[in-house]
């Protein structure tokens, strides 16, 4: 498909890979850096490096590779300006473009309550939920990306969902998964 075509030198395949992943990479990157231009620069650098060095295995999970590479790139950037112990604490939940549209249209109390509850979750729990339910990564991929074991990822996810169940009414819980974790 696109990846094999890219490795074989097909530039339109490279464009397909870029177009298929740019929006999700941007949304994910905003968790690590507040400045949208810096995030876009890192994404573009990632694709330039990929284009200049396409010697990557044919059997690779492209989505996982791109997200892991972007995460490493943004963390390296952050290490240059922030103490390494505070990296995990600096990851913040960001709204996707789709959520911004919903907030503009709906502007309801339910959305505000849900957002407040999700934002109140510990940062690593938010990251696991985002990677698992928004980007469809497996627990193995998330564990590898975050540098923890699979059981830790499962525990973080379980605790986040359990906390949301306790704090939200059933209808609000359904809405949180619909708004925050479904692609439109």
Of 47, 67, 87, the residue at which a domain comes to its end is: 87
Shared-domain flag, residues 59 and 97: no
Helix and strand counts by DSSP (H, E) for the chain: 11, 0
Q: For the chain, what percent of residues have pLDDT higher than 90?
A: 15
User: Domain residues for 143?
Assistant: 93-181
Shared-domain flag, residues 75 and 121: no
Q: Is the pLDDT of residue 98 over 70?
A: no
Q: Is the pLDDT of residue 51 over 70?
A: yes
Shared-domain flag, residues 128 and 144: yes
Tell me, yes or no, if the pTM score tops 0.85: no
Here the CATH number for the domain that contains residue 115 is 1.10.10.10
Shared-domain flag, residues 104 and 31: no
In the chain, the number of structural domains is 2
One DSSP character per residue, 118-184 reads: HHTS-HHHHHHHIIIIIS---HHHHHHHHTS-HHHHHHHHHHHHHHHHHHS-HHHHHHHHHHHH---
Q: How does residue 102 score in pLDDT terms, banded at 50, 70 and 90?
A: low
Here the CATH number for the domain that contains residue 36 is 1.10.1740
Mean pLDDT calculated for residue range 41-45? 90
Shared-domain flag, residues 21 and 46: yes
Q: Is the pLDDT of residue 140 over 90?
A: yes
pLDDT value of residue 72: 84
Q: How does residue 91 score in pLDDT terms, banded at 50, 70 and 90?
A: very low
């Amino acid at each position: 498909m696109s990846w094999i075509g890219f490795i074989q030198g097909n530039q339109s395949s490279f464009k397909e890979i870029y177009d298929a992943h740019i929006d999700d990479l941007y949304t994910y990157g905003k968790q690590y850096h507040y400045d949208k231009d810096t995030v876009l620069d890192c994404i573009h650098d990632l694709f330039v490096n990929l284009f200049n060095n396409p010697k990557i295995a044919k059997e690779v999970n492209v989505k996982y590779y791109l997200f892991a590479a972007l995460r490493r790139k943004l963390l390296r950037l952050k290490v240059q300006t922030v103490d390494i112990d505070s990296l995990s604490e600096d990851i913040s939940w960001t709204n996707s473009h789709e959520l911004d549209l919903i907030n503009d249209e709906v502007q309801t109390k339910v959305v505000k309550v849900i957002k407040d509850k999700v934002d109140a979750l510990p940062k690593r729990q938010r990251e696991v939920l985002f990677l698992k339910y928004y980007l469809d990564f497996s627990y193995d991929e998330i564990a590898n990306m975050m540098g923890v074991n699979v059981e830790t990822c499962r525990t973080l996810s379980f605790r986040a969902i359990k906390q949301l169940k306790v704090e939200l009414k059933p209808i609000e819980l359904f809405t949180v998964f619909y708004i925050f974790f479904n692609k439109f």
